[in-house]
Amino acid sequence: MLPKCDVVVINMPLTEKTKGMFDKERIAKMKKGVLIVNNARGAIMDTQAVADGCSRGHIAGKFFSNGFDLAWAKSASGGSPSEAIKLLRHMVTLFKDVVADLISLPMPTIAAVTGHAAAAGLLLAMSHDYVLMRRDRGVLYMSEVDIGMTLPDYFTAAIRSKVARPEVRRDVLLRGVKFKAEDAVVKGLIDSAHDNGEKAVEAAVRLGEELTKRRWDGEVYAEIRKSLYPELIGVLGLTAKAVVKARM
């Protein structure tokens, strides 16, 4: 079946049997240009095999995420603008839970942006603790001002929380600037820029390995993260609590 699929969506639990299941051999069986959507735990994917597939063009890498599927909302609504808006609002509600989960995860989170990150895709990337991006292709772009759509409250709260400089927030939200990786580093939108998608993924894996060695308590880490963004967690319906696990 894999050679026939344009899109492969992965939904399965992480176990000893599924760890690294999607390795170099399995990816090689997939159709050239395949899109992989991994809704499972990351370790199910062999990160080096994914990086190799991206660099060879076997795995499509034009987009990190292009945000909500507005074309689907229009087609699924049967031509009814009101129904399309209902579907869009449903996506907005579902994605709010994704952002809340990322802000609450009891571990460091890293986004390797290997293609365009637009609209909700940009927010997806920025909901991580660290953002690494390829410099040879892809932009960061909040498109709502250009397409004629206001932003959900948690979008603007996230941008205010994550983007420190007012003039950069203005350029993101009110000018619809498309930031390439080098400029995004200068503006504080991402942490680092890398030569290509493979290098970005490799750097993300290295960073993850370095952070794992610190052996931080997950609950403490998550609560400290939430305390950094009081406005955002309020909009997301989250709360921060005090945790003391140190020996006093």
State how far the alpha carbon of 163 is from the alpha carbons of 151, 159, 171, 245, in Å: 16, 6, 11, 31
Q: Which of 26-35, 87-96, 117-126, 197-206 has the lowest mean pLDDT?
A: 26-35
Task: Answer for the pair 43, 11: CB distance below 8 angstroms, yes or no.
Answer: no
Sheet holding 116-118, edge to edge: 63-65, 116-118, 140-141
CA distance 214 to 115: 30
The whole-number pLDDT of residue 124 equals 94
Angle at 89 between CA 235 and CA 175, to 5 degrees: 70
Considering all CA atoms of the chain, what is the largest pairwise distance in Å, rounded to the nearest integer?
64
State how far the alpha carbon of 11 is from the alpha carbons of 17, 104, 129, 176, 205, in Å: 14, 21, 24, 34, 22
Mean pLDDT value of segment 218-225: 97
Q: What is the pLDDT of residues 17-63, one digit of tens each?
A: 878 787 888 877 876 666 565 544 556 667 676 666 655 555 555 67
Q: Give the pTM.
A: 0.78
Q: What tokens were used for 4? A: 């026939």
Residue 8 — very low, low, confident or very high, per pLDDT cuts 50/70/90? low
Exposed, middle or buried by CB within 10 Å (0-12, 13-18, 19+), for 147?
A: exposed
Q: Where are the domains of the chain?
A: 1-60, 63-236
Fold of 63-236: 2-enoyl-CoA Hydratase; Chain A, domain 1 (3.90.226)
Return the exposure string of 223-248: e unless at least 16 CB atoms fall within 10 Å of the residue's CB, then b: bebbeebeebbebbebebeeeeeeee
Task: Answer for the pair 159, 152: CB distance below 8 angstroms, yes or no.
Answer: no
The whole-number pLDDT of residue 233 equals 98
Task: Answer for the pair 201, 51: CB distance below 8 angstroms, yes or no.
Answer: yes
Q: Across the strands, what pairs with 131?
A: 111
CA-atom Rg of the chain in angstroms: 19
State how far the alpha carbon of 228 is from the alpha carbons of 130, 139, 184, 187, 245, in Å: 14, 27, 22, 20, 19
